[in-house]
Amino acid sequence: MHNITAGIGVTEGYSGHLRTGLPWQSVSDGHKLQHTPNILNFIIEASIDAINEVLKKNQSLRNLVDNGWLKLLQMDDEGIIANRYKSNLNWESISCM
């Protein structure tokens, strides 16, 4: 069981040493990766302007995508993933072909 402590790490159980960097510790033994870390991808069928408006109104969500915890992909009207969110409400065009 992990208890979040001061927003910087976790302790194991009801007592124990503060462990910072838990995300890295959960995928590595200190020398090699134990599994490939994955980032959650969200594919959204909407205009970039509409997606940006949601991000402007939700700072918590924007923090997650701007800091790389979540990846946003924009699907166009034809069902093609056309753009990838970079950060700071900026997007880049991508080609799936």
Angle between helices 48-57 and 59-66 (to 10 degrees): 110
Per-residue pLDDT of the chain (97 residues; tens, 9 = 90+): 556 565 566 676 666 666 565 556 666 777 887 777 667 889 999 999 999 999 999 999 999 899 888 899 999 988 889 999 999 999 999 975 5
Question: Does an H or E element contain 49, and which?
Answer: helix 48-57
Q: Would you state the pLDDT for residue 25? A: 63
Place of tokens 């700072």: 59
* pTM of structure: 0.62
Q: Would you state the pLDDT for residue 56? A: 97
